[in-house]
Amino acid sequence: MDAHVSPSRVAGRARAPPSKSYTHRAILAAGYGAGTVVTDPLDSADPRATGRAVEAFGGTVEWVDDDGQAVEEGASAVEVDGFGGRPGTPDDVIDCANSGTTMRLVTAAAGLTEGLAVLTGDESLRSRPQGALLDAVESLDGRAESTRRNGQAPLVVGDAMGGGAVAIPGDVSSQFVTALLMAGAVTDDGVTVDLETELKSAPYVEITREVLADFGVDTERTDTGFRVPGGQTYATDEYAVPGDFSSMSYLLAAGAVASEEGEAVVVEGARPSAQGDSAIVDVLDRMGADIAWDEAAGEITVRGGDLSGVEVDVGDTPDLLPTLAVLGAVADGEMQIVNAEHVRYKETDRVAAMAESLTAMGVEVTEEQDSLTVHGGDSTLTGATVHGRGDHRLVMALTVAGLVADGETTVTGAEHVDVSFPDFFDTMAALGASVSVE
């Protein structure tokens, strides 16, 4: 499926979808417990994959509408009857589809099973590194191996891992820490995670700790990492998911680069939380956009301005890189996106993908292993056919670029927005964007 975008102006009110990160964690936390209703979830492909994993471990998960009726899409709540602590051995392979978060969080959960669980996913997911997490499970006396012995899925995990101390690198994925903290809470001895390198994407661990606290699970920071005491119980009757700042970034960027003169884009659902990607507000302010966040109302208002490139460290905010690259293409001067090597290990190598796509659109870029510099002052965005590479964040960021490119832009793989923002194109059209999908 392709998206066709023509130069256009945007204005009006929009609501970003609920947070994918919080939805994943809330559904699995509910699975570890006895019974929870998760309200305002993101109903998309990735959280549904986590829900299927909870069912594979012996829980029940039902996505329902406002009337409590089961629905295939557009659910307003998830009713979870959990597996009550230790997950059962699945009857079949767990297919995590394209969801890296599901794969990593569920790997540690699978390590708790008495038997063995087999985890797999699509081609993209089967190319992503899991080795450090597998080593951690094995060091906790579980079994964890890659069927191809390359640290990538398919994975075989189980044999009732226990608690203890593990050492893992912090610069591959913060999801390894999240997975071990969530699983460690129900072990007898708890789990201490010592970080061997600097933790990248650290705010995502704080999201985890925030969700666990809401489920009554204690965690703590240590001098070298994190610890979760054992013997704990997940318990809350209801959990409300906040709005997603990663998804908001595309709407805010659209307002900053393509708002109607004298008009604004207002993004609703911007409730303060531990999400690192709320940094997009500060970045746009530093770049010169007219932006204001009413935290009490949960609304961010943004208008265009004379944008200038700035330096942004994405060590804690890897999902913002595609949005930042597009902003840099429109801004004067240089946009320097640094501390970015870990962004190469997402659904695709997002550093290389954005460099390739922006180059195709006439933008000068300098790509290095750990950084991407966009020379917006020396470039003119021009419509072209660019490839989404099966990555929802690339598709949405490049759509924003198409709003201000000369001529039509075609973004391939438009269907992948279903991963995190299923109504993205409808939302953009409602703001006035000239975009069609076919």
Contact by Cβ (8 Å): 87, 128? no
175 is in an annotated binding site: yes
List CB contacts of 320: < 8 A, sequence separation 6 or more. 246, 249, 277, 279, 280, 283, 312, 314
273 is in an annotated binding site: no
3-state secondary structure of 143: strand
Pairing of strands 36-39, 77-81: antiparallel
**String of b and e for 187-215 (b: at least 16 CB within 10 Å)?**
beebbbbebeeebbbbbbbbbbbbbbebb
Set 316, 319, 391, 418: catalytic member: 319
The span from the CA of 212 to the CA of 438, in Å, is 41
100 is in an annotated binding site: yes
Contact by Cβ (8 Å): 78, 59? no
The amino acid that residue 165 corresponds to is A
The span from the CA of 201 to the CA of 205, in Å, is 8
Torsion angles phi and psi, residue 16, rounded to 5:
-70, 155
Residue identified by tokens 């019974």 is 35
121 is in an annotated binding site: no
Neighbours of 84 (CB within 10 A): 17
201 is in an annotated binding site: yes
Neighbours of 151 (CB within 10 A): 16
13 is in an annotated binding site: no
The span from the CA of 78 to the CA of 71, in Å, is 10
200 is in an annotated binding site: no
Do you know the residue count of the chain?
A: 438
277 is in an annotated binding site: no
370 is in an annotated binding site: no
Q: Is 319 a catalytic residue?
A: yes
The span from the CA of 155 to the CA of 373, in Å, is 37
The amino acid that residue 45 corresponds to is A
Sheet with 155-158, edge to edge strand ranges: 94-95, 116-120, 155-158, 143-146
357 is in an annotated binding site: no
List CB contacts of 125: < 8 A, sequence separation 6 or more. 96, 97, 98, 99, 100, 103, 153
**Active site (catalytic) residues:** 319
List the binding residues for phosphoenolpyruvate. Answer: 20, 100, 128, 175, 350, 393
Give the annotated binding-site residues for 3-phosphoshikimate: 20-21, 25, 173-175, 201, 319, 346
Annotated binding site: 20-21, 25, 100, 128, 173-175, 201, 319, 346, 350, 393
